[in-house]
Copies of this chain bind each other. A is one copy, B any other.
Amino acid sequence: MFADDYDHRRLNTLSWIRYAAALSDDPVLLLPVGSHEQHGPHLPMGCDAILADAMAVRLAEKLDGLVLPVLSYGYKSQARSGGGEHIPGTISLDGASLTLQVRDILRGIFYHGVRKIVVLNGHAENQWFLTEAIDLALREALPARPDLHLIRCEYWKYTPQSTLEAVFEGLSPRLNPHYVALLETSMMLALKPDLVDMSAMPSDRSGQFPPHDAYPQTGEGVPPSGVLSPVSGASAKKGRRLIRDTVAAMAAGLGEALNE
């Protein structure tokens, strides 16, 4: 599923000898984190992991970095951001399970002497448990490793505003998270068109949520398709642009931050 032209950037394709050699260049290591979450009737459940991985390998290419194996399971889907756990298919981790797993992975690469690390998040619900993992790993390591420099980044935060405006073709004067379905569908069409079922594209209206969150989640406010915003207008071309511009912006922003 993840095969592409970037395999040489993936840590799991390297022997330890090659990795050991690469370490002498003080490389950036990138940990993409996804989820296994329903993404509507037209997109595969691995969508967030596929996108996080795709961003990571392209970013690694620009930063001359290496990419750790993607985490394929994330924190629990929430109604307003992912549709919620009530739709069959989503498989999620408890917050502590995700946090401990990431803390351990960070501990492992600290031990190898890695200094510059990007946790590249592709699933909104993961953010705070990744933050906690980074804090726990640093608390343990910092006394002996004051040189550590970690970044946690939700990749979509780096998509330029001008790119979004172009992608939405004036349909949306006020961009917000409710428009993510068009973005994800476009990027999946660019990356894995065979995994997108255009015939199943939903035509639901957007999800409607109050300013609070209610539990247990009943699916109230979530369209039957599980898709929270319109997807019409999605295209591979838009996807390519989104990926290209987002990666370029990340490369500039993170590259500068890591080399300070």
Contact = CB atoms under 8 A, between A and B. Distances in A.
B94 A104 contact: yes
Given A15-B197, A195-B13, A216-B148, A91 B109 contact: yes
Contacts of A125: 128
Interface string A97-118: 1111101110011011100000
A244 B120 CA distance: 37
Instruction: Report, nearest first, the 5 A-B pairs whose CB atoms are least far apart.
Output: A12-B46, A3-B3, A16-B89, A69-B72, A91-B108
A72 B12 contact: yes
Given A15-B44, A15-B89, 18 more contacts: A1-B7, A15-B40, A72-B72, A73-B105, A76-B132, A76-B135, A78-B131, A92-B108, A93-B101, A94-B104, A95-B96, A96-B96, A97-B97, A97-B104, A101-B101, A131-B213, A150-B214, A151-B215
> Chain A contact residues: over half helix, strand or loop, or mixed?
mixed
Interface stretch (A136-144, A163-171, A235-243): A136-144
B36 A12 contact: yes
Contacts of A68: 36, 91
A45 interface: yes
A111 B112 CA distance: 28
Contacts of A99: 95-96
A8 to B, nearest CB: 10
Give the copy number.
Answer: 6
Interface residues of A, number: 97
Nearest to A220: B260
Nearest to A135: B76
A15 B42 contact: yes
A87 interface: yes
Nearest to A98: B101
